Chains A and B, each alone.
Chain A
Amino acid sequence: MSEVQRRKYSQEEKNAIFDGEFMPHIDSMYNFGYRLTFDEDDAKDLVQDTYLKAYRFINSFEQGTNAKAWLFRILKNSFINEYRKKSKQPTKVDYQEVETYYNSDDVHYQSTSDLRAESVKDMLGDEISNALNSLAVDFRTVIILCDLEGFTYEEMAKILDIPIGTVRSRLHRARNLLKEKLQGYAQNMGYNTDVDEE
């Protein structure tokens, strides 16, 4: 967000922006909150908090720009700054794990699994969802933003306050980790054996 002083919106304009540009994203916001916290009440608090902040700082929102990305950035910051601090059960120490493990943007892109497209297509929603939920929060987040919500790399960079190169590499790693999980499921289910059944 730029420091430029913007004109202030009138009460009417504020209402219009809030109802017309902010509220329509409540479903996506709630889902993001839920997939970050795995708790309905926490997700509700996060979303509520985000909307209150959005209203309070509505003058720094530039009409016509991407409201959804703006809201997601607020939610993500609330999650990091407030939720994680007060949470009784912090989402493990994902960040540390992520930083020590994968601290560089230079990824060598490679195929890390023998998983086949056909086995993936046969998987159930629960398996996919569980695999996604099992990823560390940073990895889970980029997948949610990209694949579930359809944000571009550039939007994700703004939401997460990281360079585009990091978005790209984190996404690649996230999907590789996801594939490892899915491959585990596939093996258990016998999906990846090449059987011809009709």
Chain B
Amino acid sequence: MKENASGERKTQCSDESKCFELLESILDGEMIDSGKEVLKEKLAKCQPCFEHYHLEQAIRDVLKTKCTKQAVPTELADSIRKQIQDIK
């Protein structure tokens, strides 16, 4: 446990299950308007929430940026168009 990062945050979350569910929804873009304030408050005041949020965010970031897309075979689009042409 890093102690320096915690500052004034409480070290125990009072309702981890609810908080984490909320944080994950916010990260998934589900609470665009109401989420920001709640988030600010949680991150400022609660160390477990703070850590959970950053871990979850890191996971989403690496998934998005590092799971590279498989190159689509070049002939696939043509082959689809050809088959559509046949059933038109």
Judge whether A123 and B66 touch: CB under 8 Å.
Answer: yes
Contact pattern, A 163-198, Cβ under 8 Å of B = 1, otherwise 0: 000001001100100110010000000000010000
Asked whether A48 lies within 8 Å of B57 as measured between CB atoms, the reply is no
- Which residues of A18-46 are within 8 A (CB) of B? 18, 23, 26-27, 30-31, 34-35, 40, 43-44
Shortest distance in angstroms between B22's beta carbon and chain A's nearest beta carbon? Answer: 9
Q: Are B60 and A52 in contact (CB under 8 A)?
A: no
Closest chain A residue to B70, Cβ basis: A34
Interface of A is mostly: helix
Residue B2 is within 8 A (CB to CB) of chain A in the complex: yes
A159 to B84, CA, bound (A): 24
Cα–Cα distance between A128 and B62 once the two chains are bound (Å): 7
**Chain B interface size, under 10 / 10 to 19 / 20 to 34 / 35 or more:** 35 or more
Choose one: B21, B29, B66; the contact of A152 (CB below 8 Å).
Answer: B29
In the bound assembly, the distance between CA atoms of A144 and B21 in angstroms comes to 19
| B-chain residues with CB within 8 Å of residue A124 when the two chains form the complex | 66
Do most interface residues of chain B lie in helix, strand or loop, or is the interface mixed? Answer: helix
Q: Are A11 and B88 in contact (CB under 8 A)?
A: yes
Chain A residues whose C-beta falls within 8 Å of the C-beta of B69 in the assembled complex: 27, 31
B76 touches A116 (CB 8 A): no
- Of residues B16, B51, B57, B63, which shows the largest number of chain A Cβ atoms within 10 Å of its Cβ? B63
B14 within 8 A of A: no
Beta-carbon contact of B55 and A116 below 8 Å: yes
10 CB-based A-B contacts, threshold 8 Å: A26-B76, A40-B70, A48-B83, A52-B83, A109-B17, A110-B16, A116-B55, A120-B55, A128-B66, A179-B55
Residues of A participating in the B interface, judged by any CB pair closer than 8 Å: 11, 18, 23, 26-27, 30-31, 34-35, 40, 43-44, 47-48, 51-52, 55-56, 108-111, 115-118, 120-121, 123-125, 128-129, 132, 143, 146-148, 150, 152-153, 168, 171-172, 175, 178-179, 182, 194
B residues with CB within 8 A of A: 2, 16-21, 24-25, 28-30, 48, 51-52, 54-64, 66-70, 72-73, 76-77, 79-80, 83-84, 87-88
Given contacts A26-B76, A110-B16, list 14 more A-B pairs with CB under 8 A. A23-B80, A31-B72, A40-B70, A48-B80, A51-B80, A52-B84, A55-B84, A111-B20, A121-B62, A128-B66, A146-B28, A148-B64, A172-B24, A178-B59
